[in-house]
Amino acid sequence: MTPRSQQQLSVLVMSTLAFTVCFAVWMMFAVIGIPIKAQLGLNETQFGILIATPVLTGSLIRLPLGMWTDKFGGRIVFFFLMLSTVGPIWLMEYATEFWHFLTIGLFVGLAGGSFSVGIAYCARWYEKERQGMAMGVFGAGNSGAAVTKLVAPAIVMAYGWTMVPQVYAAAMLVTAILFWFFTYDDPAHKVPAHVTVRDQLKALKDPVVWKYCQYYSIVFGGYVGLALWMTKYYVTEYGFDLKTAALLAAAFSLPGGVLRAVGGWMSDKWGAHRVTWWVLWVSWICLFIMSYPDSEFTVKTVTGPQTYHLHLGPELFTALLFTVGVAFAFGKASVFKYISDEYPHNIGVISGIVGLVGGLGGFLLPIMFGALVDLTGIRSSAFMLMYGVVWVSLIWMYATEVRKLDLIKKPAVAADTLE
Cβ-contact 151, 62 below 8 angstroms: no
| SS3 category, 184 | coil
| SS3 category, 41 | coil
Could you give the CA distance from residue 84 to residue 88 in angstroms, rounded to a whole number? Answer: 8
CA distance to 185, 259, 303, per residue, from 24 (Å): 26, 17, 57
Cβ-contact 229, 112 below 8 angstroms: no
Q: What is the pLDDT of residue 45?
A: 87
The three-point CA angle 305-311-317 to 5° equals 160
pLDDT in tens, 228-282: 889 889 998 999 988 899 889 888 888 877 787 788 888 888 888 889 999 999 9
307 has which bridge partners? 298
Cβ-contact 344, 70 below 8 angstroms: no
Cβ-contact 59, 355 below 8 angstroms: yes
Cα 331 to its chain centre, rounded Å, is 10
Query: Residue 113 is inside which H or E element, if any?
Result: none
Could you give the CA distance from residue 369 to residue 390 in angstroms, rounded to a whole number? Answer: 16
Q: What is the pLDDT of residue 79?
A: 96
Q: Widest CA span of the chain, in angstroms? A: 85
Count the residues in the chain: 419
- Per DSSP, the chain holds a count of helices (H) and strands (E) of 20, 2
What are φ and ψ of residue 349, in 5° steps? Answer: -65, -50
Could you give the CA distance from residue 167 to residue 88 in angstroms, rounded to a whole number? Answer: 13
Could you give the CA distance from residue 19 to residue 35 in angstroms, rounded to a whole number? Answer: 26
Could you give the CA distance from residue 59 to residue 111 in angstroms, rounded to a whole number? Answer: 10
Could you give the CA distance from residue 224 to residue 359 in angstroms, rounded to a whole number? Answer: 8
pLDDT in tens, 11-20: 999 999 999 9
| SS3 category, 308 | strand
Could you give the CA distance from residue 349 to residue 296 in angstroms, rounded to a whole number? Answer: 51
Torsion angle defined by CA atoms of residues 120, 125, 128 and 131, in that order, rounded to the nearest 10 degrees: -60
Residue ranges of the chain whose pLDDT lies below 70: 1-2, 188-197, 199-201, 404-419
DSSP state letters, 305-335: EEEEEE---HHHHHHHHHHHHHHHHHHHHHH
Q: What is the pLDDT of residue 72?
A: 85
Instruction: Report the interhelical angle of 347-376 vs 221-238 (nearest 10°).
Output: 30
Domain 4-418 sits in CATH at 1.20.1250.20
